[in-house]
Structure 1
């Protein structure tokens, strides 16, 4: 193998060629690349401005919007269906209130024309013509307004009917009269006495009727149960408001058979004799209160 050494003239020629390429050929190459890039970019830009391409993009966007709108409509229809079911429940409640009111009118022997629960305001629109999705939103608003008016009307009717029934039930029987027990005897009268626990002379604000534990206690007048509670002194106690300032109190009971707000009639059993609270044995402590003050019930109980 022969090694051909480069002469100084050959080395100079190569260096000259490289310098020439660096000065003239490389800038031309860069310009060529830039021209190609500009042509490609222009093509892409022209494609983006292509009406066909733009229409395709708009169709895609429109499809997405339609899908979102469809989802919203499905959700709205579901809400409307739920409201429709609630309207049905409200109408059922109104029907039950009407039935209850009519029954109360009959039981109280009140003129039916004064409390006509069977008559309801007209509610327009044939149900059979509704779309498969149920009520429309405007129809729902209208029906809800009508139901609100119906419920308000029924509430007013029931409130008036309640007052009429109470007046009719309690008429002529609200003044306390008679004894609260049948089987029992007076073990402590109204007035001053020696306290059974301390032995000191103290005022006794009621009359005690002793009897067997569990014996019935009856109300001495018609009224409304105003208070039922467990008292530290009176034990299991209830109070009945008879109107006209009269209240009767029954204390130390073993069991109370009525609730607050309940209407009771004279002679109705309301409790049982017991030994609760501050008591030395089975009895009922009976008080009559007039305008906030206890009074002597001796004349009322006949002894």
Structure 2
């Protein structure tokens, strides 16, 4: 294609040669410019019409944006449903914790009903219905309050159970001589030395010299001395005006002021003091009054048997 351009003023002519490729490129560029111009004009007119409130533009804008709004609502609904399901699972777990808390409260010596009363209502369990964002936020606030109160209550229960455990460790229920048999029981008997009737204020455990003497419970050594009648003697204070006494030892491994644990070796069997042969003389005193140690030791055997039965039941 040839185009001749003539300039009348300069009396000149110029010839342009356009190939088919150049014409095609020029057509494409012109089309793109025309399309961009049309889009820009439509966009400006559309926005101006919406801003100015021209008739018909508001409904067109709603139709254009409706799809985007619908997709956002679907996305939000899916997320709300997922959160509601998760919240329902958490509420179900809270009900399980509440049931467990009641049982543990009973073990701690507390009234299980106090646990439910103390917690109050934990809010309605989330069902399969659609929830609004406000309802979901309210349910989560209720769950947060309920979980906080349950933590506080279970902390009290834990403290009570810990106190009970400490108290159990401070009660002399451990055999002071492992596997030892009782020789002379608590009560009145004929004294083996003078032949008169006298109160025997403890239990005698015959054993070989050097046999370990174990602390019947945890406590603090308050006496460690050589007594004319008791020989090498140790007294352990367990609190609550409860004291145990271990007499006639051949050797003592603790001193006054030492803290001892249940089952700890504190001395060795001997025959020191007023004794007719190697044995441990074991006494339990409560508020300054001698008690029958066999009652404490029997209680320890009962607890050990019960614990063994519970362990076997769990294994089954």
Q: Which of the five TM-score ranges fits, normalised by the shorter chain?
A: 0.3 to 0.5
TM-score normalized by the length of structure 1:
0.43
TM-score normalized by the length of structure 2:
0.42
